[in-house]
Amino acid sequence: MTLPSPLAPASSLSLRPATKADAPALAALWNPWITGTAITFNPDPKTPEDMATLIAARQSAGQAFFVAESGGNLLGFATYAQFRGGAGYARTMEHSVILAPEARGRGAGRTLMQAVEDHARAGGAHQMIAGVSGENPEGRAFHEALGYRLIATVPEAGHKFGRYMDLWLLQKYL
C-alpha cells in the first residue's frame, strides 16, 4: 500500500509487512525510546534477534507487524497481539506503535494504526487496547484523536528510572 505522505510534498509513505531483514533497523528505531524515555516501561534494549523473533511470532499467530517507510527510510512500525492469554481474550488485542522522532505528527502513526486496526478487525478482533505511559501525554492525545477512550488508570503500574509511573489503558471498539 502506498499513500501520500505529509513528510514532504513529493514523497510517499509505504506500508508493508515487516521482514526478518528489518530487524536491525527496527531495534535501532525502538531502542532510543526504551533507554531514554518513559514511553515504554521496558528498560532492556531490543536486539535484532529479539525483533526477528517478535516479527515471526506475530506473523505466525496471524497478527500483523507493519513497517512504514518513505524514501527508503524506516519511519516506524505497528504491531498487535492478544491482550491477555486464554481463549476468553481471543477477540481483544493490544498494539504497539513506535515512530522515528522525525515521523511524529506527520501521518505515519495514523496510517500504521489504521492498517493494524483493519488487519485485526478482518481477523475477528472486537476491540483494541492501548497501554500508554502516564508520562506520555502525547501518546494519549494521539490515541484519543484516533477514537480511543480512556477506560482505566493503573496507578504506579510501571517502574523505570527509579520511579513508579501510571499506566493509562485506552480502548477502541473495532
pTM: 0.90
What is the distance between the alpha carbons of residues 16 and 1, in angstroms, rounded to a whole number? Answer: 7
Could you tell me which of 80, 59, 81, 79 has the C-alpha nearest to residue 68? Answer: 79
Could you tell me which of 15, 2, 5 has the C-alpha nearest to residue 69? Answer: 15
pLDDT of residue 105: 86
The number of C-alpha atoms within 13 Å of 122 and in the hemisphere containing its C-beta is: 9
Location of C-alpha cell 476491540: 127
Q: Is the pLDDT of residue 2 over 80?
A: no
Q: How would residue 9 be classed by pLDDT, with cut points 50, 70 and 90?
A: very low
Rg (CA), the chain: 16
pLDDT of residue 11: 55
> 2-173 adopts what CATH topology?
Aminopeptidase (3.40.630)
Percent with pLDDT over 70 in the chain: 94
pLDDT of residue 12: 85
Residue ranges of the domains in the chain?
2-173
pLDDT of residue 10: 34
* Helix, strand counts (H, E) of the chain: 4, 8
- Predicted confidence (pLDDT) per residue in 67-123, tens digit: 999 988 999 999 999 999 999 999 999 999 999 999 988 899 999 999 999 999 999
Q: Which residues share a beta bridge with 80?
A: 95
What is the distance between the alpha carbons of residues 36 and 29, in angstroms, rounded to a whole number? Answer: 12
